[in-house]
Amino acid sequence: MQHDDTVLGRGSWTETSRIAALLRKETVGGFLLIGAALLAMVLANSPAGDAYVSLRDYEVGPESLHLHLTLGTWAADGLLAIFFFVAGLELKRELVAGDLRDPRRAAIPIIAAVGGMVVPALIFVAVNARTGDGALRGWAIPTATDIAFALAVLAVLGSFLPTALRTFLLTLAIVDDLLAIVVIAIFYTDDLDIAYLAAAVVPIALFAFFVQRRVRAAWLLLPLAFAAWTLVHASGVHATVAGVVLGFTVPVVRSAAAGGPEAGPGLAEHFEHVWRPISAGIAVPVFAFFAAGVDVGGISGLVDANRSTITYGILLGLVVGKTVGIFGATWLTAKFTHARLDPDLAWVDVVGVGMLGGIGFTVSLLIGDLAYGLGSERDDYVKIGVLEGSLLAAVLAAILLTTRNRHYRSVAEADAVDADHDGIPDTYQRRRDVE
């Protein structure tokens, strides 16, 4: 039985199976991301380093539309808009039609995401309080979790991490990515052009009008989406904001005329199926390729980078801040609401998920570029801090979760039992019968 006061309990079988399929796609994307980042690091520190930098800084696009940008900027502003469009679709679906439509279930990952952003930011600020020269502009760098990278680590471990914990990790990662976009829009917009921003409302409103009427014609929606992205970019607001806003306009459930929620997947799920492979397989890896390449300058350069408060502020934020923030927020929420942890889990499992949350990459690198400027010395320190922090968080999470893998395996085996062969594991069948 699933009690309302249970923290991180099993969701419905429908949602569990959907999340499992989604996470498999993200895991593949995670391996591509890691491969792209490694390739970038190898090229940047090889004789081909100058060619890599020239490629990243090569400019292309129409000047008249404010789109004569470097390939690195196209990846950060353009391709990541696809990533955030998919993130917006997923979060809206979870909150409207998924298990998180129950406010009590939604509260835990949302509060954990907030804790996992606040504590790393405070640590970075504390470390860099006296650094000066604009160092504090990078306060938001260690606040984001890279779900694809984290799931790739889980896949390497062969972990049987329970679905409830995987869903928890997925949801808090999506939430903190979207909160990071809010942070980018508010704190990393230097020159705001109200006219362009107001003009962007027109294609966004038209896009919303058509998708609310379940129009899915690419020839119509893609030009509107591109127009919205172009105008938001020209306004000075980071263009990825357009992706989130467009994602939130897409309806999740079918209209009454189309049979309602029981008639099958809505338009949001259709778009997610179309765009998630593009996001995970192309957009994020290409961004990683252009963003992760940093010439460390050999051992001496690496030592110098690690003397920087920027580097170890990020490292401490990711490794310590994320773990403390996610675990602390979850534990305090349970404490003050008198909720109990699911009996198949222990609080050490939440610590492990908090450590996985310290694997920051995609959005952390993006914020680093915005804070200090792509290709600057401090931006190089950001990349080293993010890479080192993510690697250390991954190793610590691997050590902790591996010690629990035998327990996870037994839980997974019990959850897989389907004695009546009806396609729904008995654990979820009993839960549905009780409800």
pLDDT greater at residue 383 or residue 161: 383
Which of 30-44, 127-141, 166-180, 274-288 has the lowest average pLDDT? 166-180
1-5, 254-258, 270-274, 430-434: which is most confident? 270-274
Rounded mean pLDDT, 173-202: 89
pLDDT in tens, 208-230: 999 999 899 999 999 999 999 99
- Check residue 315 and report its DSSP letter: H
Helix, strand, or coil (residue 340): strand
Provide the pLDDT for residue 263: 52
Whether the predicted pLDDT of 428 surpasses 70: no
Whether the predicted pLDDT of 301 surpasses 80: no
Q: State the Cα–Cα distance between residues 96 and 144, nearest whole angstrom.
A: 24
Which of 5-9, 46-50, 126-130, 186-190 has the lowest average pLDDT? 5-9
Whether the predicted pLDDT of 75 surpasses 80: yes
pLDDT greater at residue 335 or residue 160: 335
Which of 212-221, 226-235, 334-343 has the lowest average pLDDT? 334-343
* E strands, 248-388, in order: 340-341
Query: Minimal CA–CA distance to 168: which of 298, 15, 368?
Result: 15
Provide the pLDDT for residue 222: 96
Whether the predicted pLDDT of 165 surpasses 80: yes
Q: State the Cα–Cα distance between residues 353 and 325, nearest whole angstrom.
A: 11
Confidence band, pLDDT 50/70/90 cuts, at residue 433: very low
Average confidence score pLDDT of the chain: 85
Whether the predicted pLDDT of 2 surpasses 50: no
Rounded mean pLDDT, 66-86: 91
pLDDT in tens, 98-145: 767 777 777 888 899 999 999 999 999 999 998 888 899 999 999 988
- Check residue 7 and report its DSSP letter: E
Rounded mean pLDDT, 388-401: 92
Share of the chain above pLDDT 70, in %: 89
Q: State the Cα–Cα distance between residues 179 and 148, nearest whole angstrom.
A: 18
Confidence band, pLDDT 50/70/90 cuts, at residue 1: very low
pLDDT greater at residue 232 or residue 192: 232
pLDDT greater at residue 192 or residue 304: 192
Which of 20-34, 132-146, 389-403, 421-435 has the lowest average pLDDT? 421-435
**150, 359 Cβ separation under 8 angstroms:** yes
Which of 81-85, 207-211, 301-305, 389-393 has the lowest average pLDDT? 301-305
Q: Quickly list DSSP for 349-406.
A: HHHHHHHHHT---HHHHHHHHHHH-TTSHHHHHHHHHHHHHHHHHHHHHHHHHHHTHH
